[in-house]
Amino acid sequence: MRRAIRLLSAAESIVDEAHRHNVKVTIHSRGSTSTRAAAKARVDLIYHADLATQADLDIIAKAGMPIAPVLTSPWIGVAHDGAGRGLGDRVRDRLRAQLDTSFQMIRNARDRGISVMSGSDTGNASAFSHGRWHGKEAELFVNEVGMPAMEAIVANTSRNAWLMGLEDEVGVIATGKFADIGIWNSDPLADITVLQRPSEISTIIKDGRIIDSGTGGFRQLSVEPPVPVRR
């Protein structure tokens, strides 16, 4: 209990000081105690929140910050042996359980109106390189959590633009924003997995200029999980 109180007062001091300097505070929090303390201290965003209980989520919902769960990284561990890292059965079982817990936590969060952003752990070098798996988080949101496809896309675009402090510039297609736009040949609302298939990208527009069409430019790992096929 005393440890929880110390954690809370430390978190509150950090948040107060950061906000005085107009800086956002995020916490990388897996457990219940740290997630609850972060929510009470009114951080701006909670990463992971895997083990947030219903009571923790009530506090998050009341405080109003979003969460950014991470599904893709453990999913690669479960489905593809950690991209060839040779994970043992025990580690895989633990990651599988972690995923199931996270899926349910996200459902519980959405039931409370908590905004869910796309975490993914993309760029976590021990698991997978930057770029290749951005679309996977959206697929897991839709197919495992039950999130509508548009909400999964918004979690990856406008909501994450807010996190980067770029909400006035990118994340939506609107007058006055940068025209940074990816166009696919297929409808991701009908099949969210198209976001993982570079072969179906029609055009990439950056600052209103077409800079690429038909890219296949992911950095390949020595062992790459297979690209999902159209269902």
Q: Report the residue number, 82 or 188, with the smaller CB distance to Zn ion.
A: 82
Q: Report the residue number, 56 or 121, with the smaller CB distance to Zn ion.
A: 121
Shortest separation between residue 30's beta carbon and Zn ion, angstroms: 8
Size of the residue set binding Zn ion (CB under 5 A): 1
Shortest separation between residue 174's beta carbon and Zn ion, angstroms: 31
Shortest separation between residue 23's beta carbon and Zn ion, angstroms: 20
Shortest separation between residue 51's beta carbon and Zn ion, angstroms: 13
> How does DSSP classify residue 137?
H
Q: Report the residue number, 121 or 191, with the smaller CB distance to Zn ion.
A: 121
* Nearest by Cα to 172 from 164, 181, 185, 184: 181
Q: Are 164 and 180 in contact (CB under 8 A)?
A: no
For 113, half-sphere exposure in the C-beta direction (CA atoms, 13 angstrom radius) is 6
The site map against Zn ion for 96-125 (x = CB under 5 A) is -------------------------x----
Give me 137's structure tokens: 């988080």
Q: Report the residue number, 26 or 33, with the smaller CB distance to Zn ion.
A: 26
* Identity at 231, one-letter amino acid code: R
DSSP string across 192-227: GGGGG-GGGEEEEEETTEEEESS---PPPPSS-PPP
Shortest separation between residue 31's beta carbon and Zn ion, angstroms: 13
The structure tokens 């996977």 sit at: 136
Q: Report the residue number, 121 or 180, with the smaller CB distance to Zn ion.
A: 121
> 156: how many CB neighbours lie within 10 A of its CB?
20
Nearest residue to Zn ion, by Cβ distance, number only: 121
Residues that bind Zn ion (CB under 5 A): 121
